[in-house]
Amino acid sequence: MSMAAPDLGPDMAQLRRSIYENGAATRAALAGLLALGSQQGDDPAFLQLVADVARDAMALDVDPRGYVSEADADWLTAHLGDGSGLTCRAEFEALKAVIGHAVSVPPALVAFAVREVERAILTGRRGPIGGLEHEPGVVTCADVEALRMFCFAPTAGAACHVDRATAEALFDIAHATATGANDTAFPDLFAQAVGNYLLGAAFVAAPSRDEELEIERDMERRTSFGAFLSGLAGGLMSPNAADGRKSVDQLAEERYHEENVEAQSRLDAASGVDAGEAKWILAHLARGGQLSAAEQRLLAFLRDESTSTPPEVSALFDRAA
């Protein structure tokens, strides 16, 4: 159940009550609100209602909770925009609410969100994502914050790990705005996000949607006390328990050590730039001729953070910011 938005007018309060009168928001209600988006403009109460309904219907009141399925993500993108981008602020608020409150979202939904911010930057058409209209090719402070939220979203199978589609979009933005009066935070965001793609290990932050569903089904099966005792007895009869008479603390410590070793191994493997990544970097840096401030900052990031880089990349470090 959503919390009531403050300062609602009588019509908006009635609309909220009608949506939540049965206790839960629905996709049909969200579709209806999105259809009204262009008429309502930037009305704060309406935007809050759209965000609440999108959050509840797409991210919270789902099974498993917090997991946005690919089918739901496809449904959402089909209801956002008119084929040529987002058309109103309500659509952007719905997108932010879903991604911002989810445990896991399909990478395609994040890529869609990043590309919509890119579209606003390149066209100067600010209405759908908020802000004043301005000349094309400028990254604003609001753009940086939106990109930060989407770039490091909890995509399926990993958290805060930037994928290639997002890194490609960031390079497109950097090239298109190289001579623009960009917000000063953009070069750092660009370097951190693209550097994350190149050097970050995609650690699993949460079970996959299928794994979470299986966990829930398993919990439902263990409904009797007898099943609980049977499971407990099985655990006590396991080789680890019977063989060395190890305590629970010892077993936990060993498991913790194993996980740390595995994590460090993955970090070590990811922390260098390999030949394929070097080819990708060089192809993107070469597109724009003179390096932008964002690209220079990326080179500085790789120089300082990577454990190894091919010679052709290392040769560019003297151009780092």
Q: What does 63-111 look like in DSSP terms, one character per residue?
A: SSTTB--HHHHHHHHHTSSSSSS--SHHHHHHHHHHHHH-SBB-HHHHH
**Tokens representing 184?**
């000063």
Cα separation, 112 vs 175, whole angstroms: 19
CA dihedral 281, 283, 288, 291 (to 10 degrees): 30
pLDDT, residue 40, reads: 86
- The runs of H, that is alpha helices, within the chain are 10-20, 27-40, 44-55, 70-78, 89-101, 107-123, 141-151, 164-176, 186-199, 209-221, 225-236, 239-243, 248-270, 275-285, 293-305, 311-314
CA angle, 133 as apex, 132 and 139 as ends, to 5°? 85
Among 186, 166, 174, residue whose Cα is nearest residue 290: 174
Among 156, 193, 25, 162, residue whose Cα is nearest residue 97: 25
Cβ(167)–Cβ(298) below 8 Å: no
The pLDDT tens digits along the chain (321 residues) read: 444 444 445 588 899 999 998 888 999 999 999 999 888 888 899 999 999 999 999 999 988 888 999 999 999 999 998 767 888 999 999 999 999 999 889 989 999 999 999 988 988 877 777 766 667 899 999 899 999 999 888 876 555 678 888 999 999 999 999 999 999 999 999 999 999 888 874 444 555 555 555 555 555 554 444 554 455 455 544 554 444 455 556 655 655 545 444 444 444 444 678 888 889 999 998 775 788 999 999 999 999 888 888 889 888 888 886
What is the 3-class SS of 140-155, one letter each residue?
CHHHHHHHHHHHCCCE
Cα separation, 113 vs 106, whole angstroms: 11
Cα separation, 183 vs 294, whole angstroms: 11
Q: Rounded to two decimals, what is the model's pTM?
A: 0.73
Q: Where are the domains of the chain?
A: 1-105, 132-200+271-321, 209-267
Cα separation, 164 vs 224, whole angstroms: 47
pLDDT, residue 263, reads: 41
- The runs of H, that is alpha helices, within 200-247 are 209-221, 225-236, 239-243
Cβ(178)–Cβ(76) below 8 Å: no
**Tokens representing 4?**
């009531």
